[in-house]
Amino acid sequence: MGSDGLDNTPALNPSTPVLAPGHNYASITDKISSIVLLQRTRRGWWLGFAIAFSLLMVLQLAIGYLLMVGVGIWGINIPIGWGFAIVNFVWWIGIGHAGTLISAFLLLMRQAWRQSINRFAEAMTLFAVASAGLFPLLHMGRPWLFFWLTPYPDTMGTWPQFRSPLVWDVFAVSTYGTISLLFWFVGLIPDLATLRDRAKDRVSRIIYGFLAMGWRGSAMHWHRYEMAYLLLAGLATPLVVSVHTVVSFDFTLAVVPGWHSTIFPPYFVAGAIYSGFAMVVTLAIPLRKFYGLEDFLTLRHLDNMAKILLATGCIVAYGYMMETFMAFYGGPSYDHYMMMNRMTGRYAPVYWTLILCNIAIPLGTLWFAKIRRNVGALFVISLIIQTGMWLERFVIVVTSLHRDFLPSSWGMYYPTRWDWATYLGTIGLFFTLFLLFIRFLPMISIFEMRGLAHELKEKEG
Amino acid sequence: MKRHPLYGLMAEFESTDNLISAAHRTYAEGYRQIDAFTPFPVEGLAEAIGFHKTRVPLICLIGGLIGCSGGFFLQWWPNVIGYPLNVGGKPYNSWPAFIPITFELTILCAGLATVFGMLALNGLPTPYHPVFNAPRFELATRNKFFLCIKARDAKFDAQKTREFLQSLNAREVSDIEV
b or e along B48-58 (b: 16 or more beta carbons within 10 Å of the residue's beta carbon)?
Answer: bbebeebebee
Mutate to test the interface with B, among A19, A162, A444 (most CBs of B within 10 A): A162
* Distance, C-alpha A87 to centroid of its chain: 14
Mean pLDDT throughout B46-75? 93
Q: Residue A12 has what pLDDT?
A: 52
Q: Has residue A440 been placed in a domain? A: yes
CB distance A335 to A326 below 8 Å: yes
* Alpha-carbon distances, residue A61 vs A71, A294, A435 (angstroms): 14, 39, 21
Q: For chain B, how far is it from start to end, CA to CA, in angstroms?
A: 13
Q: Which residues contact B57 (CB under 8 A, 6 or more apart)?
A: A227, A231
The Cβ of residue A177 has, within 10 Å, a number of other Cβ atoms equal to: 19
- Tell me if the bond preceding B125 is cis, omega within 30° of 0: yes
Give the ipTM: 0.93
- Distance from the Cα of B82 to chain A's closest Cα (Å) equals 7
pLDDT in tens, A221-240: 999 999 999 999 999 999 99
Structural domain total, chain A = 1
| CA-wise closest residue to A86 among A239, A262, A328, A256 | A256
Burial degree of B69 (CB within 10 A; 0-12, 13-18, 19+): middle
CB contact residues (below 8 A), chain B span 47-76, against chain A: 48-49, 51, 54, 56-57, 60, 74-75
Mean pLDDT throughout B94-122? 95
Q: Residue A461 has what pLDDT?
A: 66
Q: Has residue A393 been placed in a domain? A: yes
- Tell me if the bond preceding B41 is cis, omega within 30° of 0: no
Instruction: For residue A348, give the 3-state DSSP assignment.
Output: helix
CA distance A285 to B121: 40
Q: Which of B51, B98, B132 is closest, CB to CB, to A220?
A: B51
Burial degree of B147 (CB within 10 A; 0-12, 13-18, 19+): buried
pLDDT in tens, A96-141: 998 898 888 888 888 888 888 889 999 999 999 999 999 999 999 8
Q: Selecting from 3.30.420, 3.30.70, 1.25.40, 3.30.9, what CATH number does the domain B6-54+135-177 have?
A: 3.30.70
* Distance, C-alpha A234 to centroid of its chain: 19
Mutate to test the interface with A, among B42, B141, B146 (most CBs of A within 10 A): B141
Length of chain A: 461
Q: Which of A159, A193, A231 is closest, CB to CB, to B83?
A: A159
CA distance A332 to A372: 42
CA distance A203 to B127: 16
Longest dimension (CA), chain A: 77
Whether residue A147 has pLDDT greater than 80: yes
Question: In this complex, is the C-beta atom of B88 within 8 Å of any C-beta atom belonging to chain A?
Answer: no
Model pTM score:
0.92
Are A171 and B105 a contacting pair at CB < 8 A? Answer: yes
Are A214 and B100 a contacting pair at CB < 8 A? Answer: no
pLDDT in tens, B1-30: 445 588 999 999 988 888 999 999 999 888
Q: Residue B176 has what pLDDT?
A: 87
Of chain A, the percentage scoring pLDDT greater than 70 comes to 96
Q: Residue B2 has what pLDDT?
A: 47
Q: Which residues contact A459 (CB under 8 A, 6 or more apart)?
A: none
CA distance A65 to A69: 6
Q: Which of B39, B48, B126 is closest, CB to CB, to A450?
A: B39
Instruction: For residue B177, give the 3-state DSSP assignment.
Output: strand
CA distance A268 to A278: 15
- Distance from the Cα of B25 to chain A's closest Cα (Å) equals 16
Q: Which of B38, B75, B110 is closest, CB to CB, to A235?
A: B110
Contacting residues of A for B139, CB less than 8 Å apart: 197
Instruction: For residue A218, give the 3-state DSSP assignment.
Output: strand
Q: Which residues contact A201 (CB under 8 A, 6 or more apart)?
A: none
* Alpha-carbon distances, residue A438 vs A321, A376, A382, A445 (angstroms): 40, 22, 21, 12
Structure letter (DSSP) for residue A457: H
| CA-wise closest residue to B132 among B16, B22, B7 | B7
Domain boundaries, chain B: 6-54+135-177, 56-121
Question: In this complex, is the C-beta atom of A178 within 8 Å of any C-beta atom belonging to chain B?
Answer: yes
pLDDT in tens, A389-400: 999 999 999 999
- Residue A218: strand pairing partners: B37
CB pairs under 8 A between A and B: 186
Question: In this complex, is the C-beta atom of A235 within 8 Å of any C-beta atom belonging to chain B?
Answer: yes
Q: Residue B4 has what pLDDT?
A: 59
CB distance A220 to B51 below 8 Å: yes
Question: In this complex, is the C-beta atom of A179 within 8 Å of any C-beta atom belonging to chain B?
Answer: yes
- Distance from the Cα of A134 to chain B's closest Cα (Å) equals 20
Question: Residues A16, A18, A21, A27: what is their CA dihedral angle, to the nearest 10 degrees?
Answer: 170
CB distance A101 to A264 below 8 Å: no
Are B142 and A197 a contacting pair at CB < 8 A? Answer: yes
- Residue B12: strand pairing partners: B146, B172
Are B46 and A220 a contacting pair at CB < 8 A? Answer: yes
Are A193 and B54 a contacting pair at CB < 8 A? Answer: no
Question: In this complex, is the C-beta atom of A228 within 8 Å of any C-beta atom belonging to chain B?
Answer: yes
Length of chain B: 178
CA distance A280 to A18: 17
Instruction: Write out the residue range of the structural domain in which residue A447 sits.
Output: 42-97+117-145+252-456
* Alpha-carbon distances, residue A315 vs A106, A266, A274, A318, A379 (angstroms): 19, 9, 9, 5, 21
Whether residue A7 has pLDDT greater than 50: no
